[in-house]
Chain A
Amino acid sequence: MTSMTQAPPSDPPEQTDLPQAVAPQSIEPMRNSRSTTRVPWRKAIRRNWQLYSLLVLPVAWFVIFRYLPMAGNIIAFRNYIPGGNIFGEGWIGLENFQMFLADPTFWQVFRNTAVLGGLTLLFGFPVPIVLALLLNELRSRVFKRFVQTTTYLPHFLSIVIVAGMIMQITSMTGSINQLLSAIGLQKITFLQDAGWFPAIYVGSEIWQTMGWGTILYLAALTTIDDSLYEAARIDGAGRLSQTWHVTLPGIRPTIVTLLILNIGSFMAVGFEKVLLLYNPATYSTADVISTYLYRVGLQSGSFSYAAAIGIFEAVIGLILVLGANFVSRRTIGASLW
């Protein structure tokens, strides 16, 4: 790094002994992070103003479109009238929070959110692991690529298309009902039946994510040392016990990390999919926090009330992420940051 600012033949020993500390005083910016923190802001900006100028637009974007809305949540504590002051007309304190905590519909959508998120985690999380293990056992590269390419596909679809496909497959004339009537069972109006919604939601979620979810596991699988398998085989381990004793421990860090991430976001149930698929007949199981606040906020115009629910939702999400991260740092020493 310092090669072009110093004349190497003159003092090579000094350079090799203290490469960081004797960073040359030159127009070149210093690389040592310890020394940059000591540089006063004014000097740093004067020296790197071009770099800072690159940050102006993106940071402005973050402030306006990410942080201003966070501040805008203040309307949850104020009386907001659509079209009026964007920060509301006057303080009403915690009224909105008391209101939704006493609202039975809120607790119902809260329960629905937890159930849909929990079921997705329970059934959706193991599928990519199993799929990756099966792919890993394949001998044919071509077939492996084919399976991967095919199963990744749903990941690239618009949620509107996914919803359209779900409606089509589950419709009265759709494939599932064709099958049911072929084996002599009664047809079911799946999307009108609240009891079926969780199954449809979780099933389609697995369909969308199972292939894409294997990517990181497959990457982790390639890092397992071949000699471990060889040793296991010489010890008489069959395929199953090789998988159990070598493969699974090898990808355990990946599994744990992804599990933490998933637990952290499990309350963030796919809002758009629910919005496209639910209807009043299925509200009792399908309506989640985000769709509820969408209805009371944007459709009924109770902005302040909906914002209060939004704050609650965001805080729960943050607590879950921080909690999952904390637990993992304590137990396995791995954390996301």
Chain B
Amino acid sequence: MVINAERVRTAPVRKRRTGALSRSRGERIFGIVNVAILLLAVAVTLYPFLNVIAESLSSEKYIAMGGVTIWPRGWNFQTYGIVMSDPTFWINYKNTVLYTVVATAISMVLSTLFAYAISKQELKGRGTFIGIAVFTMFFSGGLIPNYVLVNGLHMTNTIWAVVIPNAISVFNVLVMKSFFENMPRELEEAASIDGLSVYGTLWRVVLPLSKAVIATMILFYAVTNWNSWFQAFIYMDKSSLFPVTIYLRNLIAGASSAQTSGANAASDLTSISANIKAVTMVLTVLPILCVYPFVQRYFVSGVMLGSVKG
């Protein structure tokens, strides 16, 4: 023990664990087991992705046999061609891009205005405004009144039904608010001394200094909007308006009903669907997978920022 303690003190303690010299056999075994468990977690996480990609590139025959795991069998690129030559797929894909851009823009404008205003201590009624927003995190009107409202506003079968009703995420607003609150007062005071209005201060001083949080929020909203489907599902019934998530959902729903009817799943319909389904899933998730490695840390920092609120 004494020797051990000696080593602890002399070894250059980089992290809290000591250098390799003092590791006992038990610790080394633990280290190996630990890595093994984490690798297992990684494998479990990645398996469904690899499986989808493999099925998207396999021929129907092998999928129907149940022989595809993470490596394509009977290489088949045709299905990508088939899905991509479906005009509805492209219309829906473009809709998703359009909805994502418009919805994110609306969300950003509303959230920034609100977060900036409630970040100001001198705003009388500030607590009330924060309360108005926070209360909606815990209590909502519910599905039916929302549906009645959107119907009543004649927004069904328009882009507005998708981009407006969920425009503000209170969580995101709170993240932005705490960011604005931590901004040095002096900057804004200097701006107002220089004769800038509140709008000018926000636009020319605050926003340029908030690029990090703005970028994070854009990503938050954009991913949410890219992934959303339910709004379109209940408010739209024209396939020319659907986002690609609905296109995919309809494929999946069709596939699952085919599966129900023919329990001996070797029927052609099911296997074709499985292949097409996999291709559509890959194409839908591709943009997210492409940007994910680069933006992931912004998401993490956003979550941290939100939790520091207390």
Which of A39, A55, A151 interacts with B114 by CB under 8 Å? Answer: A55
State whether A168 touches B55 (Cβ < 8 A). yes
Residues on A with beta carbons closer than 8 Å to the beta carbon of B121: 31, 33, 36
Residues of B within 8 Å of A, CB-based: how many?
A: 117
Asked if B239 is at the interface of the complex by the 8 Å CB criterion, the answer is no
State whether B256 touches A160 (Cβ < 8 A). no
State whether A153 touches B292 (Cβ < 8 A). yes
Closest-by-CB residue of B relative to A203 is: B44
Residues on B with beta carbons closer than 8 Å to the beta carbon of A70: 139-141, 145
A293 to B309, CA, bound (A): 35
Residues on B with beta carbons closer than 8 Å to the beta carbon of A298: 143-144, 147, 234
A54 to B202, CA, bound (A): 10
State whether A207 touches B44 (Cβ < 8 A). yes
Residues on B with beta carbons closer than 8 Å to the beta carbon of A307: 142, 144-145
State whether A317 touches B139 (Cβ < 8 A). yes
Residues on B with beta carbons closer than 8 Å to the beta carbon of A269: none
Residues on B with beta carbons closer than 8 Å to the beta carbon of A337: 134
What is the minimal beta-carbon distance from B44 to any residue of chain A, in angstroms? 7
What is the minimal beta-carbon distance from A312 to any residue of chain B, in angstroms? 10
Report A140-181 residues with CB < 8 Å from chain B CB: 143, 146-147, 149-154, 156-161, 163-165, 167-169, 171-175, 177-178, 181
State whether A36 touches B147 (Cβ < 8 A). no
Total number of residue pairs linking A and B with CB closer than 8 Å: 321
State whether B26 touches A238 (Cβ < 8 A). yes
Interface of A is mostly: helix
State whether A153 touches B45 (Cβ < 8 A). yes
State whether A39 touches B124 (Cβ < 8 A). yes
The verdict on A59 contacting B189 (CB below 8 Å), with A158-B229, A173-B274 known, is no
Which of B45, B164, B226 interacts with A154 by CB under 8 Å? Answer: B45
A50 to B191, CA, bound (A): 15
Closest-by-CB residue of B relative to A210 is: B41
State whether A233 touches B143 (Cβ < 8 A). no
Which of A138, A160, A169, A173 interacts with B38 by CB under 8 Å? Answer: A138
State whether A159 touches B229 (Cβ < 8 A). yes
Asked if A314 is at the interface of the complex by the 8 Å CB criterion, the answer is yes
State whether A161 touches B285 (Cβ < 8 A). yes
State whether B249 touches A36 (Cβ < 8 A). no
Give the residue among A73, A153, A173, A276 with the most B Cβ atoms within 10 A.
Answer: A173
Asked if B95 is at the interface of the complex by the 8 Å CB criterion, the answer is no
Report B184-224 residues with CB < 8 Å from chain A CB: 185, 189-190, 192-193, 197-199, 202, 223
Closest-by-CB residue of A relative to B17 is: A139
A59-B129, A151-B41 are known; give 20 further A-B pairs, CB within 8 A.
Answer: A48-B120, A48-B198, A62-B136, A65-B146, A146-B42, A147-B38, A147-B41, A149-B293, A152-B296, A154-B45, A160-B227, A167-B277, A168-B55, A172-B265, A181-B66, A233-B4, A272-B230, A279-B256, A303-B148, A306-B144
Q: Give the interface of A toward B (CB within 8 A).
A: 1, 4, 28-31, 33, 36-37, 39, 41, 44-45, 48, 50-52, 54-55, 57-59, 61-62, 64-73, 75, 80, 86, 131, 134-135, 137-139, 143, 146-147, 149-154, 156-161, 163-165, 167-169, 171-175, 177-178, 181, 189, 191-192, 207, 210-211, 215-216, 219, 226, 229-230, 233-234, 236, 238-239, 264, 272, 275-276, 279, 281, 290, 293-294, 297-298, 303, 306-307, 310-311, 313-314, 317-318, 321, 337
